[in-house]
Each structure stands twice: as C-alpha cells, then as structure tokens.
Amino acid sequence: MFLNLLRHFFLIDDAEHESADAEPFRTSALRIMLAIALLAFSAFALHSLFFIGRSESHLLISLISSSYVILCGVLLLLSQYYLKWVAAAFCGVLAVTGVGLLCLSDNTNGYYFALLALYSIPLIIRIFYSFKASMIASGANVGALALGLHDTGTLSQYLTDPSQITSLHYHFAAFALLNVALPLAFSRVLNTLHITIARLKSLAEQLNHHSALYEEIFEHTGTPTLLCDRKGQILKLNQHARELFPEDARQRIEGTRINDWVHSTSDTNNRFFWQKNASECVFKDNASSFLEVHRSALTTHGYYVLHLQDVTHLRALTEELETTQQTNSRLAHFDSLTRLPNHQNFCKLVNRQLREASEYYTGAMFIIRISQFKLLNKQYGREQSNRVILNFAKTLQARLSDQTITSRLRGVKFACFMPIGQTHLIQRNLRLLIKNVLPDQIRIGQDLLNIDYQIGISYYQNANETAEELLEHCEMALEYSTSAERIAFFDQQLESKLIQEHKLGLALGEAVKNKDIQLWLQPQVIGGGEIRSFEALARWQLKDGAYVSPIVFIKLAEELGLLPKLAEGLIRQLVDVLAEWHKEQIRTPIAFNLAGQELMNDAFFALLMSMTSEHPWLSDMLELEITETSAVMTHPLIHKRLRTLSQYGYSIAIDDFGTGQASLGQLIDIPANILKIDRRFVAPLPDDSRHLDIVKSTIQLAKSLNMNVIAEGIETREQANLLFGLGCDTLQGYYFGKPCPITEWTANSHEKAKQLRMVY
C-alpha cells in the first residue's frame, strides 16, 4: 500500500510510463531530487541536534539545516502545481548554498559540498530547461572552479611544485564530469529520447490511423464478416455479423467457437466446415434461420476471414419459387379449369404414343365443339357455363377408355385421340362409338341441358403423321360440319379443296391490294330498248387468263373480311368514271352492289359520305343495290345507314328479292325505291305458270309501294315482251347485252357512252 502510494507520488507507475508526455518525467525527477535533498538536510538537522550544546557553530548548522528541510518540503508540495518555478527555486537554493559555502566556509568538506551543489545545477537546468541555459550554467561554474582552486591553495601549490598535481586533477576531473560531461551526456540521451518518442508517437498515430481504417473497413464491408482461427474460435466480428446472432448473446460471442452457435447442414460430418469455400448452416437455437458461410481468405497469421449471409428469406423465396414453377408448369401443360392436357401437352403425349406404336397401329383423332355455347353463357352466366365445361370433361373422361388421350384445346373445343381396331375404320361404326361416349345432357343446378356437338374426325394409319397434322385435319373437317350433318370426316379431297381455297384467298388478298379486280358494266334497258342505266359487276382474271366466278371470290372476300377493302377500290374506280361522265354531261346512272358487310364497316361508310360531300351530283349518278341474301342485312345499323343514304338522294334497290332474309320485312325496314326480281324466277318464263304468278304478284306488290321494278336474267324476246307487258320498268340480261369491261364505254374519250347522252 505504502509502496504504491510512493510510486504514484513519484510518478513511476505503469500508467505514467505509457505516456509520451515529458511533463510527468520532469515532475518525477524534481520530486525525487527534492525528496533526496529533504532527506539529506533532515540528516544534517538531526546530526546537529546531538551537538547543539557543544558549540555555537553546530547550533547555526542545525538552524540552517532545519530551514533547508522546511524549504525543500515547501518546494516538494509546490512541485505539483508550479513545476518550472519550483525547479528554478531549487537551482537557486543550490546556487546560494554553493556560493555561500565557497565564500564563508573554511572547511574542506564545506568546499566540496559547495562544488557538488554548484556542479549539479547545469544537469538540473538541462532537465527542466534548454540546453543553452545548461551551458550558461556550466560556464558560470568556471568561476566557482577558479574560486575553489584559489581558496584551497591548490593552484598556488601547483605553481610552486608542478609535480604535485593530484588535487588539481581532482578539481578538473570533478568539474569536467559533473559540470560538463553529465549535462552533455544527459542532453544527448534526452535528445535521443525526444526523437525516439516523436518517432514512436508518429508510428503510434499511423498505427492508430491504420487500425481505425481497418476497423472501419471491417465494420463497413457491407456484409456480415468475422475473423476466426483455425479451430473456429471467433476473434472479431463486425456489427452486421453480430446482428445475425441472438440479441441476448451478441456481447459474449467473441472468444467462443463457431460450432457453439451454428452447425452445417450441407456437410454434417465436417466439424471444421468454415474452412471450406462455402457451407450452408442453421442456427442451433433457431432451426428456421439459415446461414451461408463463405470463406473469403486465409490471413498470414493463419486466421480465416468469413462472410456470413442470412439466407432465411432467400430460402423461403426459393421454396416459393419452386412452388410457383410447379404451378406454372401445371398451367403451361394443363388446362386450369378441367385439368386436362392443353394443346401443346396433348400433341406431346400423342406424338409419344405414335412413336411407341406398333407397325399396324391405327387410331382416330377427333375435335368436339359444343354448339350454341354462347347462348348458354348469356343465359346462365360464365360461372355456370364453366361448370358445364367441367362436367362435360369429367363425363367424357369417364366414358372413354384409359388408352384415350383427352385435351381441352380452347373455349368449348376438346380433342381426343384413341387407338381403334379394324371395325372402327368403317366411318359408320366410329360415328356410333363417338356418339355413345358424348353426353346428351348436362345438369346445371336443377336444369338438364341438351348438348349439341360439331365433330371433325381424322384417321391415323401409320402414315407418319404427327399430332399437329392430325389436329389440323380435324379442324378442316370441323369447318365442313353442318347443322344437318354434325360429324365430318377428313379426306385428301377435302384437304385439296381447303388448300386451293387458301391459295385462292392469298391471291385474292394480293389482287385487292394491287387493284387487279376490274369493273364491268351490263346495260339495263327500258321499253323502247334504250339504255336507262348500268349495273357495275366485279370481274377477277387470274394471271393464267382464267376468270374466277364472282360468286366464288365475293363469298371468299366476305369470309376473309376483305369485302370492305374490295368495295372501296371498286367504288373509287367507279366514281372516277362517273366524274368524267358528269363533265361530259353523260347522265346514265350506274348501280353498285353492296353485300351489307361494307355498310357495317365505319371506314367504308365514311368514305361514301365524304365522296357524296365532294360530288353533290353523285347521288343522281350512283345507285346502290343491296344484296338481300346477306345475313347482316337484318342488322339495325344497316337500316340506319341506308336511311341516311336515302335522305342524301341515293336510289336504293333490293337485289335478288325473294331469295334472302325475311323478304317482306326488308320492304318495311329498308328505304328502297327499286325492286329487282331474281333471275331464278325469270328463267322458267313464259312456260311455267307458277313462276309467272310469283313474278306478277311481285310486280303488283312493288307498284303498290310506288317502287320501280327491274327484272334480271332476260335471255329471250318472249321473256322481254312478257315482262314489259306485266308492267316491269327495266330489264337486264344477255338478250340486251352481256357484261363488258368499263373501258369499252370510256375508250376514245367515252365515245360509246356519249351515244347515250341526254342533253337538256
């Protein structure tokens, strides 16, 4: 306890040794010197007390020693607060003591004590002050040396007897050693210590800087990182890594082993799993928390730098992704409603079965389409309609054999492929088999619904056909199924027909695009044989010179949706001709036939209205014939647009009257002023009385409605005379003129057409 107190007072404990500051060193040195001086003067004082009564000199020495004791004690106490002032005072005390003894003492011991006090001053000054001050003090001591040599007679003895130099040597040796050598040596040591301390301080600062830098890098790597030795003992870990561990154990992780916290799941037999490049682990206290340990590097000290990654969330996402992939795989290969194979998967399964089939393998593929399903959808709603599809799929699967592959293609289309024997190669037997497996009724709630089907069938007889080709054949057959004959079989003749129609459709599209379909005109004459008007007819000539029947390509254009584009090109061509005729005052109208699909097209109707606006005379020169056989002619939009055209002054004729949709209803809904009698009613005249009565009644009906009548298909003079006699206004047919290209009427500056000109 006492020793520790002394060590603390004299500043010689470990804490002060670690300090790079010189102030504690100087304070410690001063306190030590003052303490020694205090002990020395205390010894003098005690010694003098024993001889107080013997002489007055001893009393004086005792008083002086006591004064020095008090002075040293005061200086020792003040050294804690006023270091340099106390050091200066101590040097002053030594200087006064030395000079006083030199001047007043005649004792040799007093002389030596004075020199010791004076020679100590340069060293003390060097400790607390500068080297320069120390050298000044050393120089001042030259006077003390000279005074000492003079007072002791050493110099006079040397001059009298030069051989007696022992005392002189002592004085110079003491002067050189204490006054010069020790201060210089101490200065050298002190300078070295200062330089060393400065270097150590610089190195310490660099080391601290690098340590702080490495610490910062270690803490801010962005990933949880820890350092461990070869045995897995954790030496250090950053905050990111610390947060991965349980909160209550984060402060006691360092010094423990990795195995105390986690164990490897990827290599359960390896106790030193952290030495591997990567290892998947799980926390011992929480089996639902997963961790990946990646060995980053092996340091020069044999330590491992490990990067940790919390993969709990990633593992959950992986599991979710696997589940999603399974779901997507199911969605990609199976229908979501019926769970039957979809189109792609069906073809894959069938092709696999065909590859594994024997040499004489036969089978049949057929597509089933539920008829009138849209009506069911509207009546019962989508949810109930889906139940119909689902019940149908379940019933179909239950009735088919296990060897049959069934699929839902899309919507209400199902495909089946079944192996068949020689018996069912006969179409009648296969037709009966398919009818037997199809459910006639499906229940929706309490209702039993009768189900009708359309079926396209294709045989497979080791013809190296694929499932895709068989499906295509079934689709072809399905297109030719009708309400009367719902089951259709594919054959090569049907395929050839469909291919021909397809090629013709492609050619028609190019012809419409390139405006290769031309206008021909057929005259319409009145009673005196004069041409009253023309009917514009479309003609399509192929590159080989052959003509395609208008019945064929008009129907094909309607199926392909090309009719509005075709009509647009033809009517532009016709209006250009009519514009020239208008300039030449040729007042012969031309009738243009519309099938209904054109008027449903907004772009075509807008074109017709814009032409009417640009050419106010167009409604007098252009007549519109409406083909009554078109199903869309009963659409309210058609009636609305025809009424608009009628208000603009267009003459509207009902073509092919009596052969189309709701003929009498059309006379009410369509604002027509011309009625055309179809050629099928005219051809049997005049011999067929039944057709004659129909024609008579039609003319009477038209006259009662203030409508003009045009009869088509006149081929004989007898037919012409009869129809004029029955009151028909205009006739048209081969008897008066066959259709010819419009260029015949426009050639030579419209010379032929000018013969018909009516000039007012």
- Beta bridge pairs of residue 408: 414
Q: Report the mean per-residue pLDDT for the chain.
A: 80
Strands (E), 44-90: none
Question: What's the angle, vertex CA 220, arms to CA 218 and CA 221, rounded to 5?
Answer: 70
Phi-psi region of 291 (alpha: psi -120 to 50; beta: other; left: phi over 0): beta
Pick the CATH number of 225-316 from 2.60.40.10, 3.30.450.260, 1.10.287.610, 3.30.420.300: 3.30.450.260
For residues 50 and 468, what is the distance between their CA atoms, to the nearest angstrom? 136
Residues 6+ apart with CB under 8 A from 229: 235, 302, 303, 304
Assess contact for 591 and 653: CB atoms under 8 A: yes
Domain ranges of the chain: 2-192, 225-316, 334-490, 518-752
- Give the pLDDT band (50/70/90) at residue 618: very high
Say whether pLDDT at 360 is over 90. Answer: no
Peptide bond into 686 cis (omega under 30): yes
For 322-362, list the strands marked E by DSSP.
none
d(CA 676, CA 659): 11
Residues 734, 713: Cα–Cα separation, whole Å: 7
CATH superfamily, domain 334-490, is Reverse transcriptase/Diguanylate cyclase domain (3.30.70.270)
Query: Is the Cα torsion angle 654, 657, 659, 665 positive or negative in sign?
Result: positive
Average pLDDT for residues 678-685, to the nearest whole number? 90
Residue 476: per-residue pLDDT:
85
Please determine, for residue 443, whether its predicted confidence score (pLDDT) is greater than 60: yes
CB atoms within 10 A of CB 173: 11
Whether the pLDDT of residue 189 is over 60: the answer is: yes
345, 329 Cβ separation under 8 angstroms: no
CB 165 within 8 A of CB 105: no
Is the pLDDT score of 35 beyond 80? no
- Between 423 and 690, residue with greater pLDDT: 690
pLDDT at position 268, please? 67
212-248 pLDDT, tens digit per residue, is: 777 777 777 778 888 888 888 888 888 888 888 877 7
Q: Vertex 648, ends 647 and 653: CA angle to 5°?
A: 75
Q: Residue 708 — pLDDT band, cuts 50, 70, 90?
A: very high
CATH topology of domain 518-752: TIM Barrel (3.20.20)
User: Given this model, what pLDDT does residue 658 score?
Assistant: 66
Would you call 282 helix, strand, or coil by DSSP? strand
Distance of CA 107 to the CA centre of its chain: 106
Structural contact between residues 365 and 470, judged by C-beta atoms closer than 8 angstroms:
yes
Non-local (6+) Cβ contacts of 652 within 8 A are 623, 624, 625, 626, 642, 645, 646, 670, 671, 672, 673, 674
What are 630-663's pLDDT values in tens digits? 666 777 888 899 899 999 999 999 887 766 544 5
Instruction: Determine the Cα–Cα distance for residues 630 and 563; give it in Å rounded to an integer.
Output: 12
Both tokens of 74, joined, read 């005061």
Q: How confident is the model at residue 126 (pLDDT cuts 50, 70, 90)?
A: confident
Q: How far apart are CA 143 and CA 399, in angstroms?
A: 138
Token pair, residue 397, equals: 């699967």
CA count, 13 A, side-chain hemisphere, 415: 26
How would residue 621 be classed by pLDDT, with cut points 50, 70 and 90? very high
**pLDDT (mean) for 354-378:** 78
